């Protein structure tokens, strides 16, 4: 059956409104069960307290979703195996056993649960959380172990013998190690032992590469030569440290400053402040009264959620404000090969620049990552003129690129000459990571005198293009530059970055080095990393929506480039992605695209506006009722205070409405009905029974009821032993009794 257009449109709008409400932040009840905010509980010897919370200690919102007393990501589960308890936390769906929580330093010590199985465990996943877990971050004690599983080094093409020898030293050879389900060899490296060429070669020949964080102090104090024979298991079992941050949410900060605990939804939305008196505040525990208007809050929240729908429809009726388009060939939607190097976003081809949003020569990628594919040779420029051949690019949590000076690569003399330093422009997002970088220092055309003679132990470069120089030139590793002011004795001095491990075992003053040995080190190039911390928030939001970041020649973010050729100011719409990529549909459930005929826009806007107007009228009515009730309470409060002062010798005790509700189990058992209202059975905290009489019908603002309370209080005096107490209540919701 085909639905009429108007009915279909109404149905889709209903889905949109439902999605908006269901995906917004649910409202908390006015009170909560204090057991979910217990000061401390234990699991397996680990103390668990706020901002951590147990997975089975949560409350329910009005729409039956869970809320926590603590930060969403700090949920701890306590598993029970016989009598043994084990606390664990989940990161990206993987379990990590908690060894310790140190509240003073805000540190939690975790170990991969897989790593606790046997002396030579087989780890099966990387540890990832990053921006998805805003409360967690690594500490400065972090180091890494990198595992290569299912490796087959005997496959063609033949591997470099030097790499084979290095890999043999790191092959896992435990007796009880199981590489299932992979076949082949397995290897383990520390971060200091693993250089980029080794990593790249092994990654191509192994079925799985896993990087596991460990405690750097534990790793450094271990016998690292014994890691492959089982030592790595001992290091893994000591775990790694994560730090948790205080909530960056301003509302949560105010809540905690008022001695409250922050409540969050399962999608990390701040819901309210849980106070010590069991009340829930929308702000903090100094403004508890605001929490009593939960119905008002829910209505206002609903109105606010309808407002975006109206704005969307108004925008739709007037067209898209960010309607510019671009040539989609600018963006590398899938990896493209140049030579034997795979080029992917955030790199881009230098020839693929266009005008976007009136910005000429804009590009799809990060500043400084332009690749020029010249005759099958990938070239990257630094500072506009210095050209470097790209040896390889490793994409991962940190993207690394290996570069070699193009003049050095193309030099056929065997002794390449260097005529510039390597400098990275300020606009570029590339940087020296510092882990694998060393330097060669060139001193060209040096003049020595009797006052500054040439040291006898150092030999000049003696090959190729350097022979025709009238004065000697030298090259040294940075750490072996001889003492003295060589830069003043020589016409030019250049520093060139190289891979640190390439210098290992080289005799920097031998004949081989001074003839062509240094050239081999230069041709291996150096490594830079992409500094993604420079990515601005608008670029991050764009990429989260499956878009690509567009930048101007000045390095300024100019828009979000979507797969269908649209340019958005911040992020791609779901309609921009249809048919281009697999998406997490739940993220866009509120924005599912649908086509609305133009002639219906006015009717839709009018209808939505009417709903909003109704919401505002309801809000005004509720506000008036609340104000009227407040006046009545304020009017009755002086009589209560006067009564307490006049009858001080009777020791009257004041109870809150919440306490009376708890005494009577929410007024569950009615004993009878008096002249002013019903009487209910209740129990004091010490077990004694009381009768609770509530005022319902009275004239004179309850004056008659107050007089009766005073009269009966004198006849049922508190000093009369075990006689049944009668608790008289001036009940108006929100007031004290």
Q: Which residues are annotated as a binding site for ATP?
A: 693
Q: Are 27 and 16 in contact (CB under 8 A)?
A: no
CB under 8 Å, gap of 24 or more: what pairs does 610-615 form? 611/306, 612/303, 612/306, 612/307, 612/310, 615/299, 615/300, 615/302, 615/303, 615/306
Can you say whether residue 502 is alpha, beta or left, with left for phi > 0 and alpha for psi between -120 and 50 degrees? alpha
What one-character-per-residue DSSP string does 215-269 give? EHHHHHHS-GGGGGGTHHHHHHHT-EEEEEPPP--HHHHHHHHTT-EEEEETTS-
Cis preceding-peptide flag for 8 (omega within 30 of 0): no
Nearest CA-CA partner of 99 in 109, 89, 91: 109
To 5 degrees, how large is the angle CA 234–CA 235–CA 241? 135
Cis preceding-peptide flag for 650 (omega within 30 of 0): no
C-alpha to C-alpha distance for 319 and 396, rounded to whole angstroms: 39
Q: Are 257 and 247 in contact (CB under 8 A)?
A: no
| Signed CA dihedral, 719, 725, 731, 733: sign only | positive
C-alpha to C-alpha distance for 293 and 436, rounded to whole angstroms: 61
Q: How many of the other CB atoms lie within 10 Å of CB of 66?
A: 15
Task: Provide the annotated binding site.
Answer: 693
Can you say whether residue 728 is alpha, beta or left, with left for phi > 0 and alpha for psi between -120 and 50 degrees? beta
C-alpha torsion 357→359→360→365, nearest 10:
-90
């Amino acid at each position: 059956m085909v639905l009429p257009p108007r009915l279909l449109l109404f149905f889709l709008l209903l889905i949109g409104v439902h999605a908006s409400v269901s995906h917004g932040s649910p409202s908390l009840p006015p009170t909560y069960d204090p057991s979910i905010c217990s000061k401390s509980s234990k699991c397996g010897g680990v103390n668990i307290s706020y901002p951590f919370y147990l997975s089975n200690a949560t409350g329910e919102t009005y729409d039956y979703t869970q809320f926590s007393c603590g930060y969403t990501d700090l949920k701890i589960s306590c598993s029970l195996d016989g009598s043994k308890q084990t606390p664990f936390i989940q990161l990206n769906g993987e379990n990590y056993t908690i060894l310790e929580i140190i509240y003073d330093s805000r540190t939690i010590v975790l170990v991969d649960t897989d790593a606790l199985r046997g002396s030579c465990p087989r780890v099966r996943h990387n540890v990832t959380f990053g921006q998805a877990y805003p409360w967690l971050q690594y500490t400065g004690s972090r180091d890494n172990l990198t595992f290569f599983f299912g490796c087959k080094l005997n496959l063609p093409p033949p591997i470099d013998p030097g790499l084979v020898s290095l890999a043999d030293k790191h092959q896992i050879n435990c007796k009880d190690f199981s590489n299932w389900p992979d076949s082949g060899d397995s290897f383990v490296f520390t971060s200091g032992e693993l250089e980029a060429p080794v990593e790249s070669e092994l990654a191509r020949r192994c079925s799985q590469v896993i990087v596991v964080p460990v405690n750097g102090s534990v790793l450094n104090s271990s016998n690292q030569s014994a890691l492959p024979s089982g030592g790595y298991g001992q290091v893994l079992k000591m775990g790694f440290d994560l730090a948790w941050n205080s909530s960056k949410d301003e509302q949560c900060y105010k809540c905690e400053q008022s001695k409250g605990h922050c409540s969050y939804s399962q999608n990390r939305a701040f819901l309210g402040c849980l106070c010590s008196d069991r009340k829930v505040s929308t702000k903090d525990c100094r403004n508890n009264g605001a929490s009593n208007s939960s119905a008002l809050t829910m209505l206002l929240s609903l109105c606010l959620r309808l407002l975006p729908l109206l704005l969307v429809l108004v925008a739709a009726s007037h067209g898209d404000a960010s309607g510019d388009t671009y040539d989609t060939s600018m963006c590398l939607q899938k990896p493209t090969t140049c030579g034997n190097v795979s080029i992917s976003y955030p790199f881009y081809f230098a020839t693929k620049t266009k005008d976007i949003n009136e910005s000429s020569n804009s590009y799809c990628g990060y500043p400084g990552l332009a690749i020029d594919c010249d005759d099958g040779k990938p070239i990257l420029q630094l500072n506009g003129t210095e050209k470097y051949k790209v040896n390889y690019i490793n994409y991962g949590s940190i993207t690394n690129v290996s570069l070699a000076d193009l003049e050095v690569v193309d030099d056929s003399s065997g002794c390449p000459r260097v005529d510039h330093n390597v400098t990275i422009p300020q606009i570029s997002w590339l940087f020296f990571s510092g882990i694998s970088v060393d330097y060669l220092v060139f001193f060209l055309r040096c003049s020595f005198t009797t006052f500054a003679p040439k040291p006898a132990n150092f030999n000049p470069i003696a090959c190729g293009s350097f022979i025709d120089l009238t004065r000697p030139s030298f090259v040294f590793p940075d750490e072996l530059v001889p003492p003295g002011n060589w830069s003043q004795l020589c016409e030019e001095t250049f520093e060139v970055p190289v891979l640190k491990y390439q210098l290992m075992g080289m005799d920097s003053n031998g004949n081989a080095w001074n003839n062509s040995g240094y050239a081999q080190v230069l041709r291996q190039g150096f490594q830079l990393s992409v500094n993604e911390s420079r990515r601005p928030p608008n670029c991050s939001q764009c990429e989260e929506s499956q878009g690509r970041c567009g930048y101007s020649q000045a390095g300024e973010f100019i828009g979000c480039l979507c797969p269908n050729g649209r340019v958005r100011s911040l992020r791609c719409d779901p309609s921009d992605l249809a048919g281009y990529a697999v998406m997490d549909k739940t993220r866009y459930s509120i924005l599912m695209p649908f086509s609305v005929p133009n002639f219906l826009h006015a009717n839709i806007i009018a209808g939505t506006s009417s709903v909003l107007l109704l919401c505002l009228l309801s809000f005004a009515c509720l506000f008036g009722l609340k104000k009227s009730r407040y006046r009545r309470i304020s009017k009755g409060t002086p009589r209560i205070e006067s009564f307490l002062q006049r009858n001080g010798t009777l020791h009257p005790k004041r109870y809150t409405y919440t306490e009376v509700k708890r005494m009577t189990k929410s007024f569950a058992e009615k004993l009878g009905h008096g002249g002013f209202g019903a009487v209910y059975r209740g129990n004091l905290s010490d077990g004694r029974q009381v009768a609770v009489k509530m005022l319902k019908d009275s004239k004179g603002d309850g004056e008659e009821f107050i007089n009766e309370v005073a009269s009966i209080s004198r006849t049922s005096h508190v000093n009369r032993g075990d006689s049944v107490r009668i608790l008289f209540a001036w009940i108006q919701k929100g007031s004290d009794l």
